[in-house]
Structures are given as structure tokens and as C-alpha cells.
Amino acid sequence: MLPSAGTSVHMAKVVIVGSGIAGLFAALKLEAAGHEVNVITKQRPQDSSTNWAQGGIAGILDKTDGEAMQSHINDTLLSGDGICDEVIVRCVVEEAGDRIRDLLAVGVDFEKEGEDFHLVKEGGHSERRILHAKDATGAEIERALNMAVAQSRNITMSSHTLGVDLIQRVHGVPKKGVKGIWCLCLDSGEMKAIPADAILIATGGCGHLWERTTNPSVSTGDGLAMAVRAGASNKNMAFFQFHPTALMSRNKTPFLITEALRGEGGVLLDDDGLINYRKGDDTPDKHSFTLEFSDLGSLATRDIVARACDQRMKVTGADNVWLITDHLDKEKLRNHFPNIESKLNEYNLSLGVDPIPVAPAAHYMVGGLSVDINARVLQNNADPIPGLYGIGEVACTGMHGANRLASNSLLEAIVFADRASRHFISNPINEGESVPNWRADGTHRLIEHAPLVRDLETLRKTMTDDVGIVRSFSRLNRAKRMLDLLETEVDLIWRKSIPTRELIELRNLVEVAKQITDDAMSRTENRGLHYNKDLI
């Protein structure tokens, strides 16, 4: 059990939307302080982006090592390209050791070398500071947290439950706060209203806005869209991270090839680079096209490497570039990356032997709901909405700036889950208000889902072509016109239909797509993950 984040004489009811690392970590903190917690999750508890996270969690365990912490801070600020909130960055890095020890107390088993943790290095990091559980760190964290939740007494897990909209204390008045949430029970089709003294949104990102994503199917922007409809602010939505290396080998669903593989010496080559490397005795890094974009080559930050891959593929017409590992110790690679090796074997590929075909795929929402240092969701980017918190990928804390540094996301999630929990424990709302039932007057069961399928395809095609890694004002304007049309069409169906999962998710994806596109159109300079060729 996690140590208590504080004490409280109140027994407030808290609803947490999402069952990734942020949501489960907060649930355990709140339950330890005596609060009743209901975690609602769209599918099974383990179906989260956390469970898919391979790389690890960055952090300095020794709080007395000021030099190491400052190095982590500096790397984060550099990756964020001038848009990080330095106060937040320092806060997260300084609290890393305590929060990682919380994970250890729950039973997370990070890989060790002897008595010490085995640390890896990823793109943008100047040192080895990333704890991991081979190449399945997220799955190990989810295992431990889910086991702890299952053993708790005051945490209820509501699986196959999809949040639809927040219930405000006074409809249309965000400053009065929230008092519950309407949900769709996916097993029964029933709409139910769940009262809450506080709601923590931990729904993750929205990678399924694009045709290729490393995200699980649940990542459809639900929490962000719900909060925006309730008056919440968001910021930095233009900054969406595409992971440079997703497997491209007849696999229908992109499979992430962790950045830690490049941290161990893997190198990206295009077709010409691969041919030249095979001709001589040089190491492959001398032939990498990524050196044209950064002196760090294949270990530059993700924005730079993804853009390099995208540009090279467009110039050559290739469907992929190549990740080369045959110059490395194959047994060491297979020991550290067993899940990747297993996946590659399905396509007759192997680490340390074969060039791995990879291409960028939508990966992480760097912007998100505007929150303060205690994870309270803001309206007008200033005033907190009482009882509403945002933690994990759905929130924009100021930690990541214009580009998230690899393996900082799991760290940010637990630090802000802890801060949200401690804030509510110290400032509980315990009003126990009743909530209204969902009104379905005049609505009918949706018989034809074909229009939704076509609209979703159009949405993903639009975002892929017009709001991808490289943008232009003409493309963004084209996307905005298409999104306005889609919003109108989806709203017409929404107003007359009983909600289904497909309709709810499409409605949310269109809302989040609009936020991303509007922010991208408003920017007058290229920073980090936002690259508009008209601004060069």
C-alpha cells in the first residue's frame, strides 16, 4: 500500500476517470487517506497507454545529488524548446525520488544490475537516468498498481464504463465546479449518473486522431473533450509528439520500438545509408541521415528525429527508414528487449541481425488541459474549477513544453497524481449533492453506424495529411473547414441518438482535433513539435 499523502476526517467520494498510472496511483493515495474512490475505465483496467509504455521512468533517486538533478532539469528544458515552466520542471525532478520509492513500495520490480538499478539512456538525455523493467516498464507498473487496487477496501473499479459528460453544480457556470459524471455502461447500454465530490480526469491522450498511432484503442481524447465542454481551458495543443520508430513490417497496428534501443546504440539509416554501410567497415552512425538534422544523430530529441524520418521518407518515396542494430551485442539486446525481439520474430526479424523497418506514428499529447501546480483544472487559464483535477497525459502541467523528453511522462504522472491527491485531502469537498439522470427525451437508438465509420475515416485522413508532423497554413485551413463540417454532421446525429461508444468517441475526437488545429493555426513560430513550413 502507498504511504498516506495526508490525513482527513472527511469521507468524500472521488471519481477517477482512467486506469493508467496516474489514475491508479491517485486512487491508492486517496484511499489511504480514507476517501471512497470509484475508478471508471472504458475497457479493462490494464487497457491503458501506461500498459503499452516500453522505455521507462526518468528520475534521480538520490535527492542529495544536486548535480544529477540539475542535469535532468537542463535536459528537460532543452527538449521543451523554451516553453517549459521551469518551476514545474524543478518540482517534478526534485520529487522524483520519493514518488519512485512509492512505486517500489507497491511492488514495482525495476531491472537491476547487482544491487543497483539498471539505468538506460534515451534521446535528449545526457546521462543514464531511466529506470525500466526490460522493455515492458508500463506493463510492470500497471501490474503492481492493479494488484494494490484489487487488495484495497475503498476503491471500486468500474470496467467497461465510458465517461460521457461532466455534471456541473450549476449548468454553464464552470466556477461553481462539478458534482458528478454521466457514464455509458458499455455492457448494458445503460446511461447512469455518478455523483462525486471531486473528479480526477486521467484519460490519457488522443492518438487515434491519426491513421498510425502507438496508442491503445481507448486513446480517443474523452477526458479532454468532456472538460472543455464543461468550460475548462487547454493549452499547447499544437504540440503532439510522433514517435520516430514504430515497426513497419506488414503489422496492421503500429508496434513501438522503444527509444532505449537507440540509447543502446541503434542507428537510423535510409536506403542509401544502408547500402553504403554494408559496403564498408564503418559503424552505421557515420551514414545516418539524422546527422543532417542534429549532431546528436539518432539520439536527438523526438521532434527532430521524427521530422528527419518524415522528410527523408517524403523525399525518397519510401514507406520506412531502417533501425540498425547488427553492430551491437545481440545477446545483450535480446536480454534487455525481450518483448521487441518476440514481436520482431513474428515477422522473421531479429535484434542484432536484421535492419528493422520503422516510421513515425502518433504517440503522445504534449498539450492538454490547463492545470496548476496541484493539478486543478483551470478555466480561462487562470481560475480553478472546484472539484476538477487533470493528471497524466490529459493535462498540460508545463513540464514538457514544446516537446516531451523521453520517459518524463510516467514521472510527471505520478508526481501530479500525488499533488492532486494531497490537495484534495487537505481541501476536501464533502457536499454529497444529488445528480440528475441523463435526459434521453426525443432520442432514438442509432441503427446505422456506417456514417460514423466514414466520418472517422475522414477525420483520421484529414489529421494525417493536414495536421501531421509537417504543416502549412493552407493545409491547416483545409483541415479546419473539414472539421467544421464534421462537427456539424456529428452534432446532428448526437442530438437525436441514444449515445453509443462509437458516437461518443467520434464526438470527442472531433472536439480535440479542433483544439489542436486552432492552436496550430494561431502559432507564429516553429517550436518543438509544431513545424509549419510557411514559418521557416
Catalytic sites, residue numbers: 302
Torsion angles phi and psi, residue 451, rounded to 5: -60, -35
Residues 6 or more apart whose CB falls under 8 angstroms from that of 104 comprise: 110
**What does the DSSP assignment read for 363-419?**
EEE-SEEEB-TT-EEEETTTEEEEEEEE-GGGEE-SSSTTSPPTT-HHHHHHHHHHH
Residues 6 or more apart whose CB falls under 8 angstroms from that of 361 comprise: 207, 210, 212, 213, 214, 242, 243, 246, 254, 256
Q: Could you give the C-alpha distances from 205 to 59, 268, 482, in angstroms and in order? A: 23, 27, 22
DSSP secondary structure code for residue 14 in this structure: E
- CA angle 28–388–523, rounded 5-degree value: 115
Rounded Cα distance between 15 and 200, Å, is: 6
Rounded Cα distance between 445 and 499, Å, is: 8
Rounded Cα distance between 377 and 514, Å, is: 20
**What does the DSSP assignment read for 287-351?**
G-GGGGT-TTGGGS-HHHHHHHHHHHHHHH--S-EEEE-TTS-HHHHHHH-HHHHHHHHTTT--T
Residues 6 or more apart whose CB falls under 8 angstroms from that of 431 comprise: 179, 197
Q: Could you give the C-alpha distances from 199 to 40, 62, 284, in angstroms and in order? A: 11, 33, 50
Chain centre to alpha carbon of residue 362:
10
C-beta of residue 407 within 8 angstroms of C-beta of residue 130: yes
Buried b (16+ CB within 10 A) or exposed e, 440-469: eeeeeebeeeeebeebbeebbebbeebbbb
